[in-house]
A and B are shown apart, each in its own frame.
Chain A
C-alpha cells in the first residue's frame, strides 16, 4: 500500500515508519505544522520537525511538511479558548485528532493517491468476522491511546494504520535503538503542544480572553471566597480556589459562568449517577446496554448503561451502576465494550 505516515518527531511514529517498510509498504513521511506560536513540548517545534526529517532520512523515505496552522487554529485553539470562556474543560488533543489527523490529513492523503494514513498511536485496528473494522486498546495498557482516537468510524478505520499498536512501549524503544533511530530515547511528549511550561494554561488564556473574578460559594449559597479567573476553574478541582487549608476536603462541583459563581462541596456533592454525552461518534453504529466508560486519557473505567431513547437528539444518556465523580463538561467520554477492550464510540460530556 501507499501510506502517508504522520511523523511527530517522536519514537512511536519513527518505529511505525520502520515497521511499515518491513511490511513492504511504500511510505512517505509528513509532519504537520499546526502551531505557529510559542511551544516547548509540542509536535511542531522546529527541533521536532528536524527529528522527523532526520528519521525519514535514516529510513530513506521522503519527508514533507504540511502547513495546517489555519485549520489547527480554527478547530483546536479557538474552540479551546472559547470553551474555557464558557466554563467548559476541553480536550484539545482529541479535537486535533478529530479535525487534523483523521480529517484534514486523511482527506489530503486521499487526494494525493495514498491508500492509508499511519500514525504512532498505541491502539489496534482489527476486523471482526463479518469484515467490519474494530478499534481496540493498544497492547501496552499503560500507553494505550484508544481514548484519543475513539472518533474513528468505519470509513476512517479502513484508511488508517497504527503500526505500533500491537507492541509495548519498551519494545518500540528497543526496535528504535536496534535500528539506530535517533529518537530511540527521546522522552514522550506529555502536555498540550501549544501551552508552554513557563506560562502555562493561565498565561495562554489570559492573552486571549478577559478573566473574570467569581464568587466561591458552598452548596447552600453561602459565599466562601473569590477566584481571579473563573475561566481557569475545572469541575473536580480542589486547589487554587482561594479557600483556607484545613477542614474537610472541598471540590469544585459546579461552575456558572453567567452568574460568575463557583460552587464547592464535599466529595458526595460531586457524585453523579449519570452523564449526558453529545457530539457522538460510533466505531460501528450506535451501541446500547452495558458499557465501560472512560473519561480521561489514562483514567480508570466504570460500568455504565447507555439508555436508549434520549429525549434530546444526538445526546446519549449514560447511567452509572455506582455514582461517580462528575465528569467535567467538555471532557471526552469514551465507551468500551463490556470486556473493556474494544471502543464502541464516544462523545463530549454535556453541561
Chain B
C-alpha cells in the first residue's frame, strides 16, 4: 500500500509538465538571462514567455508580473514594499500577519468561518491606511473571502489604500482572472499548484510603486533583484497552465471526494465537527475538529499508517502550535486541539479517501479507548 497523501495545502506533488519544463534549464539552457550572449538570450526568452503565459492565466499584463523566491517573499514585498499602515484579518497566514504586526499594523477579527469581519474591517479603515491584505482562500480551513465586498469597503472607507491578496491557496480552485481585477497586489506560490518550491509571483497593478525588498542587479524592473530562477519560473508557468485547464473538472471531482470523506467520517465517528460549512470553502478543503482527541496523537497514528494530513502550522522547532486561525474563529481551545486538516488535490483518488476514512476511524477509536483505560 502506498502513501495516502491528504496534505495538498502544504504542498502538492509536482506536475509532470512542470518537471519536464524545468529539465533543460539544468543542462544545456543553463545561462543567466541577464547576460549578453545567445545563451543568455535563450534563457531570457524562456522567462519572457513564461511571464506572458502567467499574465494571461492571471488576467494581468506581463509587466504586472514579478517573479519572487516564494509566496512569503511576495507577501512581504507587497506589505513592506507599499509601506505605511497595513491592516489584515487575524486568520491570515503568518507571512502576512507577522510583517504587518512587525510594522505596527492593525489586525482585525474574523467571523466563525474565519472570514474577515466586515464591520470590524470597516472600523479599522481610515485615510491613513496604505494597504489592506486579505487572503483569497484560508490555508487551514479553506474559507473563500468575498474580495468584492472587501474591495467595495476599501473604496468607501479608505480609497487611497491598496488591496493585497495572499492567493497562495487559490489557483487550484478559483479562476484568478476573476480575482485579479479586484485587487492591486496578489501573491502566488508555485509549489501549491504543482510547480517547484522556491518560486512565487507577486502581481503589481500598473501605476503602483513598491520599495523593493532586495536591491541589486535590478531584475524584474527593479522590483526584485536577484538572478532569475529560470527553471522554476518556466515550471511555474507550465504548472499554472495545467491547473487552469483542469480547474473546473477537478473542482467538481474533488468536491465530491471531499464530501465523501467528511460524510463518511461523520457517520463513522462521534464528535466530528466540520469547522467551516462546505458552501463557504474551496472544494479540496476538509477541515474537522475531533472532540476529545489530541491532534499530535492522531497524526502520529495516521503517519504510522502512511496517511499524511496535518493540524496547524509548526513553529521553528517543529512543534505544532495551537492554531491562530481557529482561535480567531472563536473555536474553543480544547476542540481546536483536535484539529485535523485534510486537503485534497490533483492526485487524490476515491481509494485515497476510502483508505483515509478507514485509518482515521480506527485511529480515533483506538485513542478514545486508550483514554477511557487511563
Whether the Cβ atoms of B317 and A49 lie closer than 8 Å is yes
What residues on A are CB-neighbors of B319 within 8 Å? 33, 49, 65-67, 69
- A44 close to chain B: CB less than 8 A: yes
B297 at interface, CB cutoff 8 A? yes
Does A128 sit within 8 A of B, measured CB to CB?
no
Nearest chain B CB to A33 CB, angstrom units = 4
Report if A33-B317 is in contact (Cβ < 8 Å); known contacts: A111-B297, A112-B300. Answer: yes
Q: How far is the CA of A112 from the CA of B301 in the complex (A)?
A: 7
Does B316 have its Cβ within 8 Å of any Cβ on chain A? Answer: yes
> Closest CB-CB distance, B334 to chain A, in whole Å?
11
Provide the residues of chain A in CB contact with B370, threshold 8 Å.
110-111
**Given the complex of chains A and B, what is the CA–CA distance between A111 and B296 in angstroms?**
11
In the bound complex, CA of A66 to CA of B296 (Å):
7
In Å, the complex CA distance between A88 and B316 comes to 35
- Per-residue CB contact flags for chain B residues 313-329 toward chain A (1 = under 8 Å, else 0) read 01111111100000000
Q: Using an 8 Å CB-CB cutoff, how does the interface string of A1-44 with B read, 1 for contact, 0 for none?
A: 00000000000000000000000000000010100000000001
| Interface flag for B371 (CB, 8 Å) | yes
Residues of chain B with a CB closer than 8 A to A113's CB: 366
Whether B301 and A49, one on each chain, are in contact in the complex, defined by CB atoms closer than 8 angstroms, is no
Q: Is A86 an interface residue (CB 8 A)?
A: no
Interface of A is mostly: mixed
Q: Could you tell me the distance in whole angstroms from the C-beta of B179 to the nearest C-beta in chain A?
A: 35
Question: Contact: B367 with A67, CB < 8 Å?
Answer: no
Any B CB within 8 A of the CB of A64: yes
Cβ contacts under 8 Å, A110 to chain B: 370, 374
Q: What's the least CB distance linking B311 to chain A, in Å?
A: 10
State in angstroms the CA–CA spacing of A46 and B370 once bound together: 31
The answer to whether residues A65 and B318 also contact, given A111-B297, A112-B300 and a CB cut-off of 8 A, is: yes
B316 in contact with A46 (CB, 8 Å): yes
C-alpha spacing A31/B371, complex, angstroms? 22
How far does the alpha carbon of A111 sit from the alpha carbon of B315 in the complex, in Å? 24
Q: Given A64-B300, A67-B296, A112-B297, does the pair A107, B321 have CB atoms closer than 8 Å? A: no
How far apart sit A2 and B136, CA to CA, in the bound complex (Å)?
45
Bound-complex Cα distance A65 to B318 (A)? 6
Question: Which one of B296, B301, B317 contacts A46 once the chains associate, using CB atoms below 8 Å?
Answer: B317
Q: Mark B350-374 against chain A: 1 for CB-CB distance below 8 A, else 0.
A: 0000000000000000110011001
How distant is the Cα of A85 from the Cα of B366 in the complex, in angstroms?
Answer: 43
* Contact for A65 among B297, B301, B317, B367, CB less than 8 A: B317
Considering residues A44, A67, A110, A113, which has the most beta carbons from chain B within 10 angstroms of its beta carbon? A67
Q: Quick one: which of A33, A53, A107, A110 has the most chain B CB within 10 A?
A: A33
The answer to whether A53 touches B318 (Cβ under 8 A) is: yes
Q: Could you say which residues of chain B place their CB within 8 Å of the CB of A65? A: 314, 317-320
Instruction: Give the shortest distance, in Å, between B308 (CB) and chain A (any CB).
Output: 14
The residues of A that contact B296 with a CB separation of less than 8 Å are: 64, 66-67, 108
B77-110: which residues lie under 8 A (CB-CB) from chain A?
none
Instruction: State whether B300 touches A67 (Cβ < 8 A).
Output: no
Kindly provide the distance from the CB of B362 to the nearest chain A CB, expressed in whole angstroms: 12
One of A31, A53, A66, A111 near B367 (C-beta < 8 A): A111
Q: What 5 pairs across the A-B complex have the smallest Cβ distances?
A: A33-B319, A67-B319, A111-B370, A65-B318, A49-B317
Given contact pairs A66-B296, A66-B319, A111-B367, enumerate 11 new A-B contacts (beta carbons under 8 Å).
Answer: A33-B315, A44-B317, A46-B316, A49-B318, A65-B314, A65-B317, A107-B374, A108-B296, A111-B370, A112-B301, A113-B366
- Complex A-B: 29 CB contacts under 8 Å: A31-B318, A33-B315, A33-B319, A45-B317, A46-B316, A49-B317, A49-B319, A53-B318, A65-B314, A65-B317, A65-B318, A65-B319, A65-B320, A67-B296, A67-B319, A69-B319, A107-B374, A108-B296, A108-B297, A110-B374, A111-B297, A111-B367, A111-B370, A111-B371, A111-B374, A112-B297, A112-B300, A112-B301, A113-B366
Interface residues of A (CB under 8 A from B): 31, 33, 44-46, 49, 53, 64-67, 69, 107-108, 110-113
